[in-house]
Amino acid sequence: MLSASATLVLCAVSLVFLQFLRLQWIRRGFPPGPIPYPFFGNLLQMNFKIHHEILKKVRIFQQYVLYGLIS
């Protein structure tokens, strides 16, 4: 008979496998794309670097546009 920890591991692996199959079934009608990781999706493939150009635009917007709307 399986121990409690082995049963939990088996259940977890089964759930991940079923989630993978469900995602494959849903994506059948779409063109191929990146395969998402279970529980993380494509979060690991995203670029989270803050670009200085974007920060400059936000600062200019806050200085001129937002101040002009309030006063």
53-68 per-position pLDDT tens digit: 788 888 877 777 666 5
Structural domain count, the chain:
1
The DSSP secondary-structure symbol of 39 reads: T
Composition of the chain by helix, strand, coil, percent to 5: 70, 5, 30
Q: What is the pLDDT of residues 6-39, one digit of tens each?
A: 999 999 999 988 888 887 776 677 777 766 666 6
Statement: residue 50 has pLDDT above 80: no
Hey, what are 11's tokens?
């259940």
Distance CA 20, CA 9 (A): 17
Statement: residue 71 has pLDDT above 60: no
Domain of residue 42: give its range. 4-70
Hey, what are 8's tokens?
């939990």
Q: What is the pLDDT of residue 8?
A: 93
